[in-house]
Each structure stands twice: as C-alpha cells, then as structure tokens.
C-alpha cells in the first residue's frame, strides 16, 4: 500500500446524472474524495442520497445515467440493515466470499468488540452487534473506499453513540476513504472531515468541518455548524 504512489483522489465524479423514467434524480454531481478522507452526505428523504451511493457502488442496474465516475475497485458497502446471511455464523459472514481469511476475520471481530462470538448465529445478536459484524465484513476486505448508507439509522441512540466512536477509531486505524450517507446532522458533524448536502439531486453545500479530532457537541462552533447545516436542509431555527 505504502509502496504505491498515493493517488490524488479516491473518488472523483464529473457531471454525474441519474434518472428514473425520464425524471432526473441526480444531476451535475461533482464529488472529490481524497484517500483517507471521511465525507458525510446529508439530505432529506428523496433528495437522491441513496441513488448517489448506489451509483458509486455500481449497484444501479438499469438506471439511466451519464457522467464520469471514478471509484476504487476495492470498495465496500455497509447498508442500513446489517444484511447478514442468517444461515452463516458471524465469522462466516465476515469472511463471506474470501478464502483463507479466517485469521483476519477474527482480528477484525476483536477490533469491533465481538471476540468470542465468532460461531454465534446472526439471530442471536442484538441490532448493534449485527451492525458491528457488517462493519467487520466491510473492513476485513481492507477497502480503499467505504460506502455507508445510513448504517446507524436503525439503532437506538445509545448504541449509535458507541458505534460512532467505534467507526472513528476503525477509520483512524485503517484509513479508508469514507462516504457516509445520513440524515443525522450531529452524526455528520461528529464523524466527518467534510459534509456535503444534497437537495433535489444537486449538491448545494460542501463544508469542511473545522473542528479538531475531539468533537464536543456542546461547543459554540459545533452549534454554529449544526445551525448552518440544518438551515441548508430547510430546517431553520430563528
């Protein structure tokens, strides 16, 4: 990895367009994500967030589209649901489709705090634990790009806070580029280096979060960024 010349961009799109049945869902999307950069994508429901993520993951079969799209071959997706195969145990789910990856699978499971649960069935895990397995399944492939589609949306508030800390820790250690799709403004500010806002299929905001590595929700600057982003999402407090 270190021997390779560091590419300037992990993700690069130019004038990306996607449409369903003649109606445009995304248009004129230009996104650059640097290697190791953590970008959050905010937007209301129906703004095209998931369509954009599916386009980046090449999961949009049969969708009309145009524009330039460069993403690394080695990318992983974390979905909102953990999407574990119920008939495979935890370790088998993590190493799904890989051969000889058991050792790496155990290491990553320990990193997400699930040591000793390797042979459990997915139904035996809590929602948070299932999502940690899904995260391990993505990270064991050492992706250059991690695409996460509201991965914590279905979790309770306390579990979500713990998952935020875990994700930050894992990203610091493994340095993938991340695009996190979310509708949670606090989550975006807590985790991301940069926040994009999507509205009606267009990017209307590209904000670098100038907070340090410690993100305290109570600081005035945090509140300022939150107010600004909420206003961009059409939720104004006056």
Partner 1 sequence: MTVLSTKTFIRTKPAQPQRRRRRLGPGPAIPFGLQLGPALLLILWAAGSGLGLIDPRILSAPWTVIATFGQLIADGRLQDHLGTSTLRAASGLAIGLVIGTVLAIVSGLSRFGEAIIDGPVQIKRAVPTLALIPLLMLWFGIGEQMKIITITLAVIVPIYIHTHNALRSIDARYVELAETLDLTRWAFLREVVLPGALPGFMLGLRFAVTLAWVSLVVVEQVNATSGLGYMIGLARTYGQTEVIIVGVVVYAVLGLMSDAAVRLVERRALSWRRTLSH
CB closer to partner 1 out of 89 and 159: 89
Looking at the DSSP bridge assignments, the partners of residue 182 are: 42
Contact between 165 and partner 1 by CB under 8 A: the answer reads no
Q: Which among 26-34, 38-46, 119-127, 178-186 is the span making contact with partner 1, rule CB under 8 A?
A: 119-127
CB closer to partner 1 out of 75 and 195: 75
Please give the Cα distance from 84 to 67 (Å, whole number).
33
Contact between 123 and partner 1 by CB under 8 A: the answer reads yes
List binders of partner 1 among 25-84 (CB under 8 A): 57, 59, 75-77, 79, 81, 83
Among the listed residues 46, 115, 119, 124, the single contact to partner 1 using CB under 8 A: 124
Q: Which among 122-130, 172-180, 196-204, 215-223 is the span making contact with partner 1, rule CB under 8 A?
A: 122-130
CB closer to partner 1 out of 112 and 229: 112
Site string for partner 1, 80-99 (x = CB under 8 A): -x-x-xxxxx------xx--
- The CB-based long-range contact list for 28-33 (8 Å cut-off, 24+ gap) reads 28/202, 28/203, 29/67, 29/201, 29/202, 29/203, 30/203, 31/196, 31/203, 33/9, 33/145, 33/177, 33/179
In sequence order, what DSSP letters do the residues of 172-196 get, joined into one string?
HHH--EEEEEES-HHHHHHH-SEEE
Least Cα distance to 55 among 181, 144, 141 occurs for 181
Smallest distance, partner 1 to C-beta of residue 237, A: 37
CA angle 92, 168, 78 (to 5 degrees): 40
Residues contributing to the site for partner 1 (CB under 8 A): 57, 59, 75-77, 79, 81, 83, 85-89, 96-97, 121-124, 137, 141
């Amino acid at each position: 990895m270190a021997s390779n010349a560091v590419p300037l961009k992990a993700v690069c799109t130019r004038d990306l367009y996607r449409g369903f049945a003649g109606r445009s869902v995304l248009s004129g999307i230009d996104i650059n994500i640097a290697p190791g950069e953590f970008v959050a994508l905010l937007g209301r429901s129906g703004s095209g967030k998931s369509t954009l993520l599916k386009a980046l993951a090449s999961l949009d079969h049969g969708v009309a589209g145009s524009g330039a799209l460069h993403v690394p071959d080695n990318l992983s997706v974390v979905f909102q649901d953990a999407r574990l195969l119920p008939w495979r145990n935890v370790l088998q789910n993590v190493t799904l489709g890989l051969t000889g990856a058991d050792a790496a699978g155990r290491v990553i499971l320990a990193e997400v705090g699930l040591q000793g649960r390797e042979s459990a069935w997915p139904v035996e895990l809590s929602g948070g634990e299932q999502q940690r397995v899904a995260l391990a399944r993505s990270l064991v492939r050492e992706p250059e790009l991690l695409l996460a589609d509201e991965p914590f949306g279905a979790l309770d508030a306390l579990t979500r806070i713990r998952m935020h800390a875990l994700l930050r820790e894992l990203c610091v250690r493994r340095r993938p580029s991340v695009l996190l799709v979310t509708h949670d403004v606090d989550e975006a500010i807590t985790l991301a280096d940069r926040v994009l806002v999507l509205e009606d299929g267009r990017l209307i905001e590209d904000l670098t979060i100038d907070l340090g590595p410690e993100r305290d929700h109570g600081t005035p600057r945090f509140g300022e960024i939150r107010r600004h982003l909420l206003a961009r999402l059409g939720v104004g407090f006056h």
